[in-house]
Structure 1
Amino acid sequence: MKAIVLYGAGDVRVEEVPDPTIQQPTDAIVRVVAGCVCGSDLWPYQTLPASGSGRRMGHEFLGVIEETGSQVSGLRRGQFVVAPFVWSDNTCDFCREGLQSSCRHGGTWGTWGHDLDGGQGEAVRVPLADGTLVPLPVEEDSALIPSLLTLSDVLCTGHHSAVTGGVRQGSTVTVIGDGAVGLSAVISAKRLGAERIILMGRHTDRTDLGREFGATDVVAARGEEGIAAVLELTGGDGTHAVLECVGTRDSLQTSFSIARPGGTVSCVGAPQYEEVTMDFGLFTKNIHLTGGVAPARAYIPELLPDVLSGAIEPGKVFDRTVGLDEVPKGYRAMNDREALKVLIRP
């Protein structure tokens, strides 16, 4: 079958790889109907050292079950399913607590395309299929495919930032980042009842979509100028929640400066820093720091009805669709900010 392999910074190739097979009785084989390029894929695309072996790519996909292992009981061949970006048994103590991203028997963030097949390919072996895969009540030609695909990662990650950030009816919220996760955070904050949502982003086409999703204000400035703009909009207080959806040192430092006293900073952007200085103001302002890897498997049942009904349309974050042979161009387009998020249709 065909799959995407990254051999180093900027070196994305379409290659023939072995077809996935059942290796454990709890496995399932899923034929990929839709996958995508994640913003976090751009970090290795920009920095991965050259390698002779390469690395499979893609941790977001949905598709049709082609085969199941002998111990898979809750799924059947032909079902249309979505795969969270972390696989889990959905039965261990952490899973029962809604933290499938820490499943004792499952994968870790980024497992798809590292230790296993990647979602940017024609098929994937899914371990612990009963616990991982979620059946979808639509056919594979549904017009909802783009929005349903966001349940694999980006919508759930945005939702995680809003939930852990304590967003509720009447909250004021700042979202840092106008990428797909940041825009999903806007959707999620609006869905949870935020009264005011300030979106920090510099790309007009993206911030316009953010306004459509529910942002009430847009701040294009960065650094001290951006901080001053948010504080001016909030009477000097800052916002109850700051949803940090970028993952850089600068974005996190900005978050600390614009959180309201007693407020919460939720970090869900894949961190690209080793350490961050936390000044004394965090202590005096009683700022809460939270976030982390989203347990998508816990959130899918809650978010799925709103996607199916059209109450939210997160699939609008996809602004380019490519086949597998065009994926290298898709990476370049996202890296050059010519595309927001690229949908892959094998």
Structure 2
Amino acid sequence: MRAAVFNGPGEIDIEERPKPEIEGPDHAIVRVTHTAVCGSDLWFYRGESDREAGSRVGHEPMGVVEAVGEDVVSVEPGDRVFAPFLQSCGRCEFCRRGLHTSCVDVGSWNGDDGGAQGEYVRATHADGTLVRVPDRYADDEGVLRSILPLTDVMGTGHHAVRSAGVEAGDSCVVVGDGAVGLCAVAAARRLGAERIVAMGHHEDRLDLARAFGATDTVAARGEAAVERAHDLTHGGAAHVVEAVGAASAMETAVEVCRPGGTVGYVGVPHGMDGLDLYPLFGDNITLRGGVAPVRAYADDLLADVLQGTLDPAPVFTETVSLGDVPEGYRLMDQREAVKVLVEVDA
């Protein structure tokens, strides 16, 4: 099968790799039809995080079940499914608590399981991981495009807003105008936030934020941005989302948070070694969040997508084929795309 492979910073290649097979009773093989390039993929692409050369990449699979192990009961061959960026058993203490990313047997989509930017993946916990799309929508490309963000960025944005404690009538500030930040705006609107301030540096992305439900946007930098956010929220918001992962973004999130408020963080942390915790201590600011348990939110978010009240599809601003995944990485790296959708022709 064809799969995208990381061969060093700035080097993604499409190579022939062994197709995964059923090796256990809980397994399923999924023929991937849609996937994506994620902002978190750029950390290893840019050489800013470690990754083994020759490893398969991708973690946002959607496709059609091709085969299942003898113990699988939730899906069968021919079903349209999507899956979170991590695999989980669905049965352990942490999965039962909705913390699937801490599953005692948590797994990725890399290695022998295929890499989601490829033609096939193996779900080692099919019942605990795969989410079935109702048959009536299984071939509706428009709906599938709206469902695909539930594999990662929409669930992650939702986790950020939930972690920040957003409820109906609240004011919320979202720091970051990438796909996760934009989805956090949509999630805040879904939960009924009255004022949603999106902070970023790219006017085209802030236009998308407005389309997703932001009532105000801030494109300034540094202290000017913080002052503007304070003006819009009358001294700071009680609920703030940090959706970048950089120390500067976290510092901004804390600065725009009202004393006693909460910062929900989901940006993969990089360069946080020098982060000053005293402002959180001094203003009794709560920091909550982490890696998003996307599987815990998938069913509720899917229901909203299917009834037409949630549509995160606009985060996909470019579409490429599997063979053009290297170009998809370039588009993301150069900020020429918010998020790239990959259509896989298996």
Tell me the TM-score normalised to structure 1 length.
Answer: 0.95
Change (3 A) 1:302 1:50: closer
Q: What one-letter code is carried by the residue in structure 2 that aligns with 1:25?
A: P
* Residues in 1 aligned to 2:52 and 2:202: alpha-carbon distance in whole angstroms: 37
RMSD, aligned α-carbons: 1.6
Instruction: Check conservation: 2:163, 2:264, Cα contact below 8 A.
Output: yes
Structure 1 residue aligned with 2:126: 129
* Residues in 1 aligned to 2:245 and 2:305: alpha-carbon distance in whole angstroms: 27
Change (3 A) 1:47 1:21: same
Alignment of 1:1-346 (within 5 A): 1-47=1-47, 53-107=53-107, 111-114=108-111, 116-137=113-134, 138-235=137-234, 237-346=235-344
Unaligned runs of 5+ in 1: none
Tell me how far 1:116 sits from its aligned partner: 3.1
Tell me how far 1:127 sits from its aligned partner: 0.6
Tell me how far 1:182 sits from its aligned partner: 0.3
Tell me how far 1:84 sits from its aligned partner: 0.9
Greater Cα offset, 98-107 or 186-195: 98-107
Change (3 A) 1:53 1:257: closer
* Residues in 2 aligned to 1:262 and 1:98: alpha-carbon distance in whole angstroms: 26
Instruction: Check conservation: 1:34, 1:149, Cα contact below 8 A.
Output: yes
* Residues in 2 aligned to 1:122 and 1:224: alpha-carbon distance in whole angstroms: 47
Give the SS at the match of 2:40.
Answer: helix
* Residues in 2 aligned to 1:51 and 1:295: alpha-carbon distance in whole angstroms: 23
Instruction: Check conservation: 2:25, 2:70, Cα contact below 8 A.
Output: yes
Instruction: Check conservation: 2:197, 2:214, Cα contact below 8 A.
Output: yes
Percent identical among aligned pairs is 49
Tell me how far 1:229 sits from its aligned partner: 1.5
Unaligned runs of 5+ in 2: none
Q: What one-letter code is carried by the residue in structure 2 that aligns with 1:170?
A: G
Tell me the TM-score normalised to structure 2 length.
Answer: 0.95
Instruction: Check conservation: 1:8, 1:48, Cα contact below 8 A.
Output: no
Change (3 A) 1:38 1:52: closer
* Residues in 1 aligned to 2:127 and 2:275: alpha-carbon distance in whole angstroms: 42
Tell me how far 1:51 sits from its aligned partner: 8.4
Instruction: Check conservation: 2:8, 2:53, Cα contact below 8 A.
Output: no
* Residues in 2 aligned to 1:173 and 1:251: alpha-carbon distance in whole angstroms: 15
Change (3 A) 1:212 1:68: same
Instruction: Check conservation: 2:7, 2:53, Cα contact below 8 A.
Output: yes
* Residues in 1 aligned to 2:27 and 2:275: alpha-carbon distance in whole angstroms: 44
Instruction: Check conservation: 1:248, 1:271, Cα contact below 8 A.
Output: yes
* Residues in 1 aligned to 2:309 and 2:244: alpha-carbon distance in whole angstroms: 26
Change (3 A) 1:77 1:7: same
Instruction: Check conservation: 1:248, 1:272, Cα contact below 8 A.
Output: yes
